[in-house]
Structure 1
Amino acid sequence: MHELPKGYTYAVAAAGFKKKDRLDLGLIVSGPPAVCAGVFTTNLFQAAPVRVCRNALASSATVRAIVVNSGQANACTGEQGVRDCETVRGMVGDLAGVPARDVLPASTGVIGPRLKLELWRAALPALQESLGQAGPEDVAQAMMTTDTRHKVASRVVELSGGRVRLLGMAKGAGMIGPNMATMLSFLVCDAQVDAAWWSGVLSREADRSFNRVIVDGDTSTNDTSLALANGASGVNADSAADREILAQAVRDVLHALAYELVRDAEGGTKVARICVTGAASDADAELVARAVGTSPLVKTALFGQDANWGRVVCAAGRSGAVFPPEKLTLRFGDVLVFAQGRPESGDLDALLEPVMKASDIPIAIDLGAGTGSFEVLASDLTREYVSINADYRS
């Protein structure tokens, strides 16, 4: 059971945006105004809700509500998509009793179609009836598209002034290889925080977690991560020690959610933890880690439980990183498979069989060129992934 942050209420409804009788509309309302930080997609095609959130946070660091829908991305819908977002903010603001300007929208689904505002209006009574009766796990379910499970993580920490609670939720199973955050993620906290510091924490910790997961190497038009802190606990995180404790809690929640995103990858059966060390720089280490993590050949080998080390070495060599090939060492789990420019002797397939059968597979690459390092989590690539995405719009 999660110990919920104080001062938040939740609501959900089945609006029928894509499928009938399925939760696809969620609402988070903060009683007190909440300090809000956000990080968003770097895709040049930014969905209307992303544009609206960016503009809202540029004018005010506090919000009262987040409304999220699945089944309709409201992306590539032009200025009409922005106007539709504003209509939704007004409707939800009236329902929750907060100004429309204090409502942040987020959407996920198929790119192109406009929001079906008539379905929004029809769902409002059920959403209002649910307010205060639903919980964060219900909202996490309403966010899902091709996800097979909802994703929620929480932490409780003791600061000098008392107890503080954090809870995060995320959705995402495909179109994930982002350079910002993830598909959709919301964090709620009941501490009092400085807005600029809070924004820095989210940006830094999203970069260390959500920005280091790879399902398919795509970055969505809708990627949004929002973090709210409403001060309802009465505990102020104003000392350096308290801030470090709270930042670590944010880190723990986001890392837990990031792992769950990869574990629930579309059709996924494996989570590869690709750790690159010994690079000339962190940037070179990142080049290698991402080349290996996005390689279809590596990912299909993981699915087939085939320790095809040649594919990993090949991906490292074409990554763009500079290193002496004869110094690269490669381990799958604890088993050294490649060093000094050649494979290790012995029956590697037999040694690696239990490693490759596991759901989590550590892959360690040392480039022998310096002290740079980088780590990513990557899924495998399966027949089911192709099937899901071949039929996504149907």
Structure 2
Amino acid sequence: MAFFRSRWVQRPGHVAEAGDDRLPAGFRAAGVAAGIKPSGGLDVGLLVNGAPDGVSAARFTASGVLAAPVLVTKERARLDALRAVVVNSGNANAATGRPGLDEAARMQGAAAMAAGVATEHVAVASTGVIGVQLDGQKVVKGLLAANGRLSPDGAGEFSAAIQTTDAFEKRATLDVELPSGRVRLTAQCKGAGMISPRFATMLCFVQTDAALSAETADLLLGVCVKRSFDRVSVDGQLSTNDTVVLMASGRSGVTVAPESEDELRFGEALDVLLRQLALLIVADGEGSERVGRVVVRGGHQPGVDAVARAVANSPLVKTALHGGDPNWGRIAQAVGAALPGTAPLALDIAIEGVQVCSGGMALPVDQAALDAAVAGPEVEYEVGLPGEGADAELFFSDFGHGYITINADYTT
């Protein structure tokens, strides 16, 4: 299946899906089964940048309860010079106190030895159940096995090793034509539940053989994360473990200079990559069958952001989306809850381009056409507020019986 599959992400002409799955020059990866997941599947991944002068950038969850791997990475690693990432799935190593920190540090040290780099150049990530102590010895043994499997073709194994409740893998291999030459851009991502528009519950690792400065890498990653993973919601729940890491090897020989046409085009490629990955997370929302997009315009920025989040996180809106029910009254309710006041709000609402409410008053509509419009896999909602000059966008998944089933049995 093609990677770019959403109508809301338009692939630029200079970005193409590659004909192979090889990582960018300089990178190797592997995934192994270390016995952390009860299923026995792949659960430890190792990703290595072999370029000694490579650069990186990273972003982390905004949660006040930070998992041990996030703390260890932020405090013990050089975020502008990461050369390896070690990941385990099946255990989040969150809310585990000092023992959890010790195990995360052990993972970092073992990965440094396996990758042949200094400890400060290793990022640590974990995903899975919160509040259960991680058996770091299993991770160490897994890393010994992963070291012997490192390969430029190892992205598939690595991607499988970072998944938890994901129904499908989320990765891409892109070739990007820049004015100065061709570079490769790849990514592996996971996430399906505990996803909030403040940051997705997810891990994402991005690699390129372009030569970037640390400042450029940080700038581009920050901008693109705000337009992608910061704009999605499955259930409005903020994770303890969210991590995004971008690493550049420079092995292509193509330098992306600041404020250049190369930077602009590379940034466009990174943007569509992360936005499509974010949409895949929403589409894979636990039990999800449909994806919604809400666009809010007018008013002021805090207001439109609050309205977009209220609509995207509303159980009433999400269940209506799941059932293909164009019940726009639920949207109006969510908007009113986000913007309480004493006077009626002159509100506009459209669903798939069909205007259903204008100035706070219902409009006559072709109900059959409206029912058909919300029956597809993607449904767009537009909200207009009084005033102009601000806008906000959020992607969200529906709520169905599958979400309850998955999360009611998550630890049992």
Normalising TM by the smaller chain, what interval? over 0.9
Provide the residue aligned with 1:84 in structure 2: 103
Provide the residue aligned with 2:383 in structure 1: 365
Percent sequence identity is 39
The question of whether the paired residues in 2 share the 8 Å contact of 1:14 and 1:20 is answered with no
- For normalisation by structure 1, the TM-score amounts to 0.94
Q: Matched residues in 2 for 1:287 and 1:321: separation?
A: 11
The question of whether the paired residues in 2 share the 8 Å contact of 1:285 and 1:321 is answered with no
CA offsets 1:122-143 (integer angstroms, 9 cap, x no match): 3234312321175212211111
1:272 to 2:292 alignment: yes
Provide the residue aligned with 1:334 in structure 2: 353
- Secondary structure class of the residue paired with 2:139: helix
CA offsets 1:182-235 (integer angstroms, 9 cap, x no match): 411111111111112211211111011100001000110001111111111111
Q: Matched residues in 2 for 1:324 and 1:262: separation?
A: 35
- Aligned pair count? 391
In the TM superposition, what are the counterparts of 1:180-191 in structure 2 within 5 Å?
180=199, 182-191=201-210
The question of whether the paired residues in 1 share the 8 Å contact of 2:232 and 2:395 is answered with yes
The question of whether the paired residues in 2 share the 8 Å contact of 1:157 and 1:164 is answered with yes
Q: Determine which of 62, 68, 92 is the counterpart of 1:42.
A: 62
Q: Determine which of 224, 231, 236 is the counterpart of 1:212.
A: 231
In the TM superposition, what are the counterparts of 1:115-194 in structure 2 within 5 Å?
115-132=134-151, 134-180=153-199, 182-194=201-213
The question of whether the paired residues in 1 share the 8 Å contact of 2:46 and 2:143 is answered with no
Q: Matched residues in 1 for 2:197 and 2:165: separation?
A: 17
Single out whichever of 88-97 and 266-275 deviates more from structure 2. Answer: 88-97
Q: Give how far 1:323 is off.
A: 11
Q: Give how far 1:16 is off.
A: 1.6
Provide the residue aligned with 1:310 in structure 2: 329
- Secondary structure class of the residue paired with 1:318: helix
Q: Give how far 1:84 is off.
A: 1.1
CA offsets 1:99-142 (integer angstroms, 9 cap, x no match): 22222110001111222123224323431232117521221111
Q: Matched residues in 2 for 1:178 and 1:36: separation?
A: 24
The question of whether the paired residues in 2 share the 8 Å contact of 1:167 and 1:189 is answered with yes
Residue 81 and residue 233 in structure 1: after superposition, are their counterparts in 2 closer, same or farther (change >3 A)? same
Q: Which runs of 5+ in 1 are unaligned?
A: none
CA offsets 1:27-62 (integer angstroms, 9 cap, x no match): 1111103211111011111011101111234x4621
- Secondary structure class of the residue paired with 1:371: coil
Q: Matched residues in 1 for 2:79 and 2:116: separation?
A: 18
More helix by share: 1
- Secondary structure class of the residue paired with 1:66: strand
Provide the residue aligned with 1:352 in structure 2: 370
Q: Give how far 1:296 is off.
A: 0.5
Provide the residue aligned with 2:268 in structure 1: 248
Q: Give how far 1:326 is off.
A: 5.4
- Compute the RMSD of aligned alpha carbons: 1.9
Q: Give how far 1:18 is off.
A: 2.1
1:74 alignment partner AA:
N
- Secondary structure class of the residue paired with 2:338: coil
1:286 to 2:305 alignment: yes
Q: Give how far 1:79 is off.
A: 2.3
Provide the residue aligned with 1:53 in structure 2: 73
- Secondary structure class of the residue paired with 1:357: coil
Residue 322 and residue 261 in structure 1: after superposition, are their counterparts in 2 closer, same or farther (change >3 A)? farther
Residue 113 and residue 5 in structure 1: after superposition, are their counterparts in 2 closer, same or farther (change >3 A)? same
Q: Give how far 1:158 is off.
A: 2.5
Single out whichever of 263-272 and 329-338 deviates more from structure 2. Answer: 329-338
- For normalisation by structure 2, the TM-score amounts to 0.90
Q: Give how far 1:376 is off.
A: 0.4
Q: Matched residues in 2 for 1:6 and 1:133: separation?
A: 8
Q: Which runs of 5+ in 2 are unaligned?
A: 1-18
Q: Matched residues in 2 for 1:193 and 1:321: separation?
A: 46
Provide the residue aligned with 1:234 in structure 2: 253
Q: Matched residues in 2 for 1:185 and 1:124: separation?
A: 20
Q: Give how far 1:338 is off.
A: 1.3
Single out whichever of 89-98 and 316-325 deviates more from structure 2. Answer: 316-325
Residue 323 and residue 168 in structure 1: after superposition, are their counterparts in 2 closer, same or farther (change >3 A)? farther
